[in-house]
Structure 1
């Protein structure tokens, strides 16, 4: 979503060590069409994408995206999701600013 090869490399490696399947990791790039994501996961992904691409539109987080996320997650879970999205975005900006290169983040 954010175009960061460092993020893609790091998070894919982390997820592969956990319980996430390769199938779902590969399908993430096409999450809207992929049948392997739940409605709650789609709401979280839509919110993450909207926050990530805020400068692409005049209404950064459209009501339909916000309302779907608020419908799927209670207040605490939604707050946690927003903070996690923000933390990933912060990391992406640091990586872009300091011109991090895939493999140099200690993930290999």
Structure 2
């Protein structure tokens, strides 16, 4: 696939500076790195963003995630490889990514399950990661950014 245009973050460098600041804040929130990687991958899978799925897998492997777990993220509910805390973050990711599917956006049950495992700064980091991933998924889908592209 050929990209439709130069990536918007390359054309508008101040946008990338802002995104990098958000990304830095995410990693200061105290959420486990593995959870942030899983959240990024799951949102990207839902949105069909090949560039982010590719980059997310590459990043997760670099940060110690296993092939076996990464292959099961799309079917995490049927897998015994994820902790209860990771499951709550994945459920939050799915509902927050598919906000149009429910009048609540995120159900109270999903929120309560996540809040049981993560404090507010960690939840903030997870929510920001979900949101930032959705931003990149949309940028990449609209511009048809190919998998393996770097910005």
TM-score w.r.t. structure 2 length? 0.66
- 1:42-70 C-alpha deviation (Å, 9 max, x unpaired): 00000011111111222211110011111
Matched, 1:8 2:53: yes
Aligned to 2:24: none
Counterpart-to-counterpart distance in 2, 1:34 and 1:46: 14
Question: Is 1:7–1:92's contact at 8 Å kept on the other side of the alignment?
Answer: yes
**1:43 aligned residue (88, 93, 116):** 88
Counterpart-to-counterpart distance in 1, 2:125 and 2:62: 23
Q: SS where residue 73 of structure 2 aligns?
A: helix
**1:68 aligned residue (104, 113, 129):** 113
Counterpart-to-counterpart distance in 1, 2:48 and 2:143: 15
List gaps (5 residues or longer) in structure 1. none
Q: SS where residue 32 of structure 1 aligns?
A: helix
Question: Is 1:47–1:61's contact at 8 Å kept on the other side of the alignment?
Answer: yes
C-alpha displacement of 1:16:
1.7
**1:57 aligned residue (81, 102, 111):** 102
How many pairs were matched up?
106
Counterpart-to-counterpart distance in 2, 1:99 and 1:56: 25
**2:131 aligned residue (73, 81, 86):** 86
C-alpha displacement of 1:96:
1.4
| Structure 1 ranges of 4+ moved more than 4 A | none
More helix by share: 2
- 1:60-91 C-alpha deviation (Å, 9 max, x unpaired): 11110011111111111111111111111111
- 1:12-37 C-alpha deviation (Å, 9 max, x unpaired): 11112221110000011110110010
